[in-house]
């Protein structure tokens, strides 16, 4: 099974839709996914993800299903931090990586700032949503592996959001959450491809083939937009 985790197009956050440039991005993405082919399409219920996804659904003549747990993690917005207003996944990497020992699965949630229950609760919500979703597709998470309940070769697209996608990838790939947040950013309409690598008849392990691929934008003569990243550093 191949899972395509797709961020929405350039957002108009105020109106929860996509910008005129975002529509161009979504059309380019739809052409790419038409060539790729899909078996199932899922989407966040938020307007900017829906507006992006519909181009692909229309291009393939497919229906889609809403996954409520893939909406953006808006609760992780913090007004008062030492770095100014910020989403949790935009906390400066220099702070996260300033320790003598890198965060791991047991320690990241104990670190300063990240030891707030709202952060661990949001992560647990994503983990449960992911595990229930993948079990419905035939892969049951046991520890860090997935027991194969029903083998398939589906190509599945999930249209969602930068923060949600990074958080989900941390769970799928067993990467400490704060290192995932500080080490990666996903551009609008970027496609991250995760293969459920089956080396035996019993187990599958998510293996990331491509992260944040935007080759469809370059093919269409478009440049990536910096939405969701600190512009001064872009």
pTM: 0.96
Judge whether 208 and 27 are in contact, CB under 8 Å: no
pLDDT at 230: 61
pLDDT at 234: 42
pLDDT at 81: 86
> Mean pLDDT, to the nearest integer, of 202-225?
97
In this prediction, what percent of the chain has a pLDDT beyond 90?
87
The helix/strand/coil state of 126 is: helix
Confidence of residue 232 (pLDDT cuts 50, 70, 90): very low
Distance between CA 137 and CA 130 in Å, rounded?
11
pLDDT at 13: 95
Judge whether 7 and 161 are in contact, CB under 8 Å: yes
Judge whether 11 and 48 are in contact, CB under 8 Å: yes
Q: Which of 163, 151, 75 is nearest to 117 (CA)?
A: 75
Q: Is the pLDDT of residue 2 over 60?
A: yes
Among 103-107, 144-148, 207-211, the range scoring the smallest mean pLDDT is 103-107
What is the average pLDDT value for the chain, to the nearest integer?
A: 95
pLDDT at 33: 98
Q: Which of 78, 82, 40 is nearest to 60 (CA)?
A: 40
pLDDT at 82: 84
Q: Which of 72, 77, 80 is nearest to 166 (CA)?
A: 72
> Mean pLDDT, to the nearest integer, of 29-43?
98
pLDDT at 155: 98
The domains found in the chain, sorted by start residue, are 2-72+88-220 (3.40.50.1240)
| pLDDT per residue as tens digits for the range 159-213 | 999 999 999 999 999 999 999 999 999 999 999 999 999 999 999 999 999 999 9
Beta strands in the chain (DSSP E): 2-7, 11-12, 17-18, 40-43, 65-66, 77-78, 86-87, 139-142, 145-148, 155-160, 191-197, 203-213
Distance between CA 3 and CA 130 in Å, rounded?
12
Phi, psi of 84 (to 5 degrees): 95, 180
């Amino acid at each position: 099974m191949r899972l395509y985790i797709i961020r929405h197009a350039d957002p108009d956050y105020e109106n929860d839709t996509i910008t005129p440039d975002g529509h161009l991005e979504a059309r380019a993405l739809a052409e790419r996914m038409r060539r790729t082919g899909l078996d199932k399409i899922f989407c966040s219920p938020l307007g900017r993800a829906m507006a992006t996804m519909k181009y692909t659904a229309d291009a393939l003549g497919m229906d889609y299903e809403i996954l409520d747990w893939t909406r953006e993690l808006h609760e992780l917005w913090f007004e008062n931090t030492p770095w100014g207003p910020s989403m949790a996944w935009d906390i400066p990497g220099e702070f996260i990586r300033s320790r003598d020992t890198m965060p791991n699965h047991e320690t990241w949630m104990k670190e300063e700032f990240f030891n707030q229950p709202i952060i661990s609760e949001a992560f647990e919500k994503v983990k449960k949503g992911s595990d229930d979703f993948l079990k419905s597709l035939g892969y049951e998470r046991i520890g860090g592996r997935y027991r194969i309940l029903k083998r398939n070769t589906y190509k599945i697209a999930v249209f969602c959001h930068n923060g949600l996608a990074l958080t989900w990838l941390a769970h799928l790939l067993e990467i400490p959450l704060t290192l995932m947040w500080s080490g990666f950013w996903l551009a609008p309409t970027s496609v991250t491809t995760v293969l459920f690598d089956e080396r035996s008849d019993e187990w599958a392990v998510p293996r990331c083939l491509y992260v944040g691929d935007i080759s469809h934008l370059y093919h269409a003569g478009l440049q990536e937009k910096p939405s969701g990243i600190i512009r001064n550093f872009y």
